[in-house]
């Protein structure tokens, strides 16, 4: 029996009489109980089912990390240029890396298929009664300024093409419409002027720029008469 047990037990308690065997105390002394409790206290709580929210600190850390990564990426992406990222890149080397010269016909072909062909048709013959033809049209192969103006502001009201009268709405590809660049408008007009049976000279980007500044005040679509007043049919 330990000193502690002795001091706690009453002298009359039969358990404190010499010779009495305290089975319980012998099996598990106070020190041991304290020891086991300490062990239990060191153990983690039982895992529970359910949702534990992500700690705020962790979220802030990840936020900062993403922010930093974004800044880093933004600063060092090198515009994804091949001479930065492609180890096989050689200056002026052939293949895909070679600087491709701007080809107005190629560009115009694509612009035409994606934008004009729906109405004027892929063969440029238009749709009788609805969309006038571009193939063989004097509006196309005549004065380039007139054609550029049509593309830049659109056309509405009656218009006569090769003896047929149309009356519809042609959309604008200028500032009040799809806002195409001088280069694109030069490409589309050049392409249309040289496709199918058309054989008219190319339209220069400079001419498109001149026309653009000369019609800066014009807001809506043209009527054909307005255009004919400025550029009579040849």
Interface positions with ligand HEC (CB under 6 A): 115-116, 118-120, 131-134, 137, 139-140, 147, 150-151, 155-157, 159, 161, 166-171, 173, 188, 192, 224
| Shortest Å, Cβ 177 to ligand HEC | 10
Angle between helices 205-214 and 182-193 (to 10 degrees): 110
Nearer to ligand HEC, 13 or 123 (CB): 123
CB nearer ligand HEC, residue 29 or residue 157: 157
Query: For ligand HEC, which is the closer residue by CB, 167 or 219?
Result: 167
Q: How much of the chain is in helix, strand and coil states, percent to nearest 5?
A: 50, 10, 40
Distances in whole angstroms, Cα of residue 133 to Cα of each of 53, 77, 217: 67, 48, 29
Q: Which is nearer to ligand HEC, 29 or 168 (CB)?
A: 168
- 182 Cβ contact partners less than 8 Å away, ≥ 6 residues apart: 205, 208, 209, 212
CB of 144 vs ligand HEC, minimal distance in Å: 11
Continuous H helices in 82-169? 82-85, 104-111, 117-120, 138-141, 144-153
Q: Which position has the token pair 């307005």?
A: 226
* Nearby residues of 192 by Cβ (< 8 Å), 6 or more positions away: 108, 112, 116, 124, 134, 140, 147, 198
State the Cα–Cα distance between residues 28 and 47, nearest whole angstrom: 29
Determine how many CB atoms are found less than 10 A away from the CB of residue 96.
Answer: 8
Comparing CB distances to ligand HEC, the nearer of 22 and 223 is 223
Query: Is the CB of 4 or the CB of 130 nearer to ligand HEC?
Result: 130
CB of 217 to ligand HEC, least distance (A): 21
Identify which of residues 22 and 121 has a Cβ nearer to ligand HEC in the complex. Answer: 121
Closest contact distance (angstroms) between CB of 150 and ligand HEC is 5
**In 3D, which of 227, 232, 234, 233 has the Cα closest to residue 148?**
227
């Amino acid at each position: 029996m330990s000193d502690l047990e002795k001091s706690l037990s009453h002298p009359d308690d039969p358990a404190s009489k010499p010779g009495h065997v305290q089975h319980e105390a012998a099996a598990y002394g106070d020190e041991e109980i304290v020891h086991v409790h300490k062990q239990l206290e060191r153990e983690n709580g039982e895992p529970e089912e359910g949702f534990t929210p992500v700690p705020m600190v962790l979220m802030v850390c990840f936020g900062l990390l993403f922010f930093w990564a974004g800044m880093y990426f933004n600063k060092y992406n090198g515009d994804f240029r091949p001479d930065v990222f492609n180890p096989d890149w050689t200056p002026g080397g052939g293949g895909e890396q070679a600087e491709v010269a701007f080809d107005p016909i190629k560009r115009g072909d694509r612009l035409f298929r994606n934008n004009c062909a729906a109405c004027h048709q892929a063969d440029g013959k238009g749709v009788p009664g609805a969309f006038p033809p571009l193939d063989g049209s004097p509006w196309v192969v005549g004065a380039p300024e007139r054609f550029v103006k049509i593309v830049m502001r659109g056309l509405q009201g009656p218009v006569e093409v090769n003896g047929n009268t149309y009356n519809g709405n042609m959309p604008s590809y200028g500032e009040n419409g799809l806002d195409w660049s001088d280069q694109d408008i030069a490409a589309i007009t050049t392409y249309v002027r040289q496709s199918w049976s058309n054989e008219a000279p190319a339209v220069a980007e400079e001419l498109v720029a001149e026309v653009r500044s000369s019609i800066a005040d014009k807001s809506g679509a043209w009527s054909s008469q307005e255009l004919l007043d400025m550029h009579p049919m040849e």
